[in-house]
Copies of this chain bind each other. A is one copy, B any other.
Amino acid sequence: MAENVAEVTSQAGLPAHEQVYRSLREVVLFGALTPGEPVTIQGLVERLGAGMTPVREAIRRLTAEGALQAMGNRRIQVPVLTAALVEELTEVRLALEPRLAMRAADRANAEDVARLAAIDAQLDQAIQRGDIEGYLRENHRFHACLNEMAEAPIMTALADSLWLRFGPSLRVVCGQVGTRHLPDCHKDLVRALAAGDGAMAARAIEEDLAQGMDVVLSSL
């Protein structure tokens, strides 16, 4: 091993701290780290083949977004969710994401809808395959894409940071229950977007979201 900054993410031209940030973000999002697992600077320095400063900056950034948690005694770990936190996350997501979906419905053109449908198709395949990593990736991509369509940078950023908070737990859940029985109300959503029906889009995302968070909650 000992290759450079990351597996796939490494893009020349970007500053090292940005590359480290993206790698680490993916790591958190798709569950290479489990909740409670300690994150050490030096560990990342070795793992990513980067210097201390970029790693340090990336960690601070992720910490500010809630993806990592700084313990009092200068140690850092992936946050462990409690039931109360999951409920709060659900409440906030329910406050934000339906709004985003509604805006997206107002703005979506045919090309956008096709893109989403394509992602959803890949998602289905991943589910059929039982490919957890694939499910997590495509599911996130679907929502990220949808949110981006809303053209509401602040809300989108917030929604993204929320995702970082439950990503690791989602991975754990998938490991326990497999990819079947996971929510997928995306079909309704795509239909709603195609029809430009904001209210229906909001309801679809609400359903998807509530189901997803419920699975997380039920796994403690």
Of the residues B53, B66, B152, B155, contact of A154 by C-beta under 8 Å: B66
Q: What 1/0 mask marks residues of chain A from 126 to 161 whose CB sits below 8 Å from any chain B CB?
A: 000000000000000000000000001111011001
Q: Does A186 belong to the interface (CB within 8 Å)?
A: no
Chain A contact residue count (CB 8 A cutoff): 30
B residues near A88, Cβ cutoff 8 Å? 152-155
Of the residues B15, B53, B153, B154, contact of A74 by C-beta under 8 Å: B15
B residues near A161, Cβ cutoff 8 Å? 158
B residues near A92, Cβ cutoff 8 Å? 96, 154-155, 158
Q: Does A220 belong to the interface (CB within 8 Å)?
A: no
Number of copies of this chain that the complex holds: 2
Whether B64 lies near A65 (C-beta < 8 A) is: yes
Minimum Cβ distance to chain B for residue A154 (Å): 5
Q: Does A61 belong to the interface (CB within 8 Å)?
A: yes
Q: Does A171 belong to the interface (CB within 8 Å)?
A: no
Q: Does A57 belong to the interface (CB within 8 Å)?
A: yes
Whether B85 lies near A154 (C-beta < 8 A) is: yes
B residues near A85, Cβ cutoff 8 Å? 153-154
Whether A17 lies near B154 (C-beta < 8 A) is: no
B residues near A64, Cβ cutoff 8 Å? 60-62, 64-65
Whether B165 lies near A154 (C-beta < 8 A) is: yes
Q: Which residues of A contact B (CB under 8 A)?
A: 15, 17, 53, 56-57, 60-66, 74, 85, 88-89, 91-92, 95-96, 99, 152-155, 157-158, 161-162, 165
